[in-house]
């Protein structure tokens, strides 16, 4: 009697937000660009990693960290939250906290601290650049928040460079949440940019890496126009077909998993080349194949079931943020041939006349797109055109529109 095939290894795919995949495919060019930045003698370019949700920005950021450490850089940073945008002091505290995580074991030159005029007992008792030491020095410095932070970073570097370190990288994820609060006379984003530009002009090798959605870079330029010259921007796109196949197959290389070419091609097409979707779909395919094999059946990719689960788990919550009228506009956008790339106000207004009884004027489209940007469903690029902010959202919208028409027709048939 023929023995059934069994899969004994754990499902390797991890679709969680920011979870490292079993194999990081297709980001070699970005890694090479980062290597160039690490070789800067004087920091003239910082780094922005941007792209839609699901393209692997956080994963790539985490992957760059060991490379920097191997080349004798210190790496500080964390996820940013909207709370950091409350005030300039909040940004300063964030930077001090992150810096202390990598300097807390570095012994300070107490005589040098005294010579700089910081002779406070609380500073001199501590022998390392821990959080309390950094805060004590910061509080002793007169002036505005930016003045205090700049001098603190200068003082800190005098000690760090004696440790034979190339510099410090401050890496912040979800940086699109950081913004100035003009109504409260607080400019935390401008403070961050001003401080790093200032210390870099003094040849202090503190590099800034910001990761975020496509709204990030336009927001930086709006806050400080010099940001355009301060950053090297890497926009992470979807993976090519070959790299998508690598992301699917490499984790299975050591295992006898019955994933044929047709199944792989189906996964590539369903995922659109987005790393998150590859992980999501592959996890579902693995579990489905396991059940079929254990039942003695020939496995195949359960396309409809996976699409339904993606719609429920990923798209529906985002779709629910839109009003009925906003959904109509998004449906118009999804009907455009190049909707996966970008669209304009004029094209949406013109297309609405073809599809809707209650059409949209150009000014109305402009107002609604602005609100949809706020909800994170679309974003405005640097050229004044708009794109969907959620990967493959247009495919979901097209499905919803099809379901709506079918339901409407069924209702008419019953009448």
Domains of the chain: 28-235 (3.40.50.300), 318-414 (1.10.10.10)
Does residue 123 have a pLDDT over 60? no
The pLDDT confidence band at residue 403, using thresholds 50, 70 and 90, is: confident
| Cα–Cα distance for residue pair 103/128, rounded to 1 Å | 8
Cα gap 328→322, rounded to integer Å: 10
pLDDT at 110: 66
Could you tell me the two tokens for 336? 């455009």
Residue 110's Cβ-count burial label (10 Å; 0-12, 13-18, 19+) is middle
Residue 261 has pLDDT above 70, yes or no: yes
Return the pLDDT at 205.
97
- pTM for the whole structure: 0.87
186-202 pLDDT, tens digit per residue, is: 999 999 999 999 999 99
- Angstrom distances, CA of residue 294 to CA of 3, 28, 280, 282, 412: 11, 38, 22, 18, 45
Count CB atoms within 10 A of the CB of residue 408: 10
pLDDT for 114 equals 62
- Of 114-118, 262-266, 268-272, 326-330, the poorest mean pLDDT is in 114-118
Mean predicted confidence (pLDDT) in 12-34: 91
Question: Residue 310, Cα to own-chain centre: how many angstroms?
Answer: 20
Highest mean pLDDT among 228-242, 380-394, 395-409: 228-242
Residue 306: which pLDDT band, with cuts at 50, 70 and 90?
very high
Q: Give per-residue pLDDT as tens, 56-97.
A: 999 999 999 999 999 999 999 888 887 788 899 999 999 999
Give the residue with greater pLDDT, 410 vs 92.
92
Say what the pLDDT of residue 211 is: 96
């Amino acid at each position: 009697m023929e023995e059934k095939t069994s899969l004994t290894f754990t499902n390797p795919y991890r679709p969680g937000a920011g979870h490292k995949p079993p194999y990081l495919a297709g980001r070699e060019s970005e890694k090479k660009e980062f290597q160039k930045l690490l070789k800067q003698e004087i920091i003239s370019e910082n780094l922005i990693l941007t792209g839609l949700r699901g393209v692997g920005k956080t994963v790539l950021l985490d992957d760059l960290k060991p490379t920097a450490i191997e080349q004798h850089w210190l790496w500080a940073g964390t996820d940013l939250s909207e709370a950091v945008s409350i005030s300039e002091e909040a940004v300063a505290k964030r930077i001090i906290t992150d810096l202390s995580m990598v300097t807390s074991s570095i012994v300070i030159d107490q005589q040098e601290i005294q010579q700089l005029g910081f002779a406070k007992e609380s500073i001199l008792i501590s022998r390392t650049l821990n959080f309390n030491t950094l805060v004590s020095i910061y509080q002793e410095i007169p002036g505005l928040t930016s003045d205090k932070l700049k001098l603190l970073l200068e003082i800190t570097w005098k000690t760090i460079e004696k440790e034979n370190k190339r510099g410090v990288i401050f890496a912040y994820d979800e940086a699109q949440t950081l913004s100035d609060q003009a109504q409260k006379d607080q400019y935390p984003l401008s403070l961050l940019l001003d401080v790093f530009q200032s210390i870099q002009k003094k040849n202090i090798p503190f590099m800034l890496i910001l990761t975020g959605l496509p709204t990030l870079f336009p927001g930086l330029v709006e806050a400080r126009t010099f940001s355009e010259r301060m950053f090297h921007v890497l926009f992470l796109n979807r993976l090519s077909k070959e790299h998508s196949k690598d992301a699917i197959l490499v984790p299975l290389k050591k295992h006898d998993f019955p994933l044929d070419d047709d199944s792989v091609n189906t996964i590539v097409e369903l995922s659109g080349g987005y790393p998150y979707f590859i992980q999501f779909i592959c996890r579902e395919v693995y579990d489905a194949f396991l059940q079929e094999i254990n039942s003695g059946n020939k496995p195949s990719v359960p396309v409809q079931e996976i699409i339904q689960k993606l719609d429920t788990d990923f798209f529906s919550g985002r779709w629910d943020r839109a009003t009925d009228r906003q959904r109509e506009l998004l449906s118009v956008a999804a009907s455009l041939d190049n909707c996966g790339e970008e669209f304009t106000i004029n094209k949406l207004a013109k297309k609405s006349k073809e599809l809707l009884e209650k059409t949209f004027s150009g000014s109305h489209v402009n107002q609604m797109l602005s609100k949809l940007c706020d909800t994170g469903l679309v974003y405005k690029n640097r050229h004044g055109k708009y794109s969907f902010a959620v990967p493959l959202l247009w495919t979901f919208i097209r499905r919803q529109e099809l379901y709506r028409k079918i339901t409407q027709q069924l209702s008419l048939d019953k009448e």
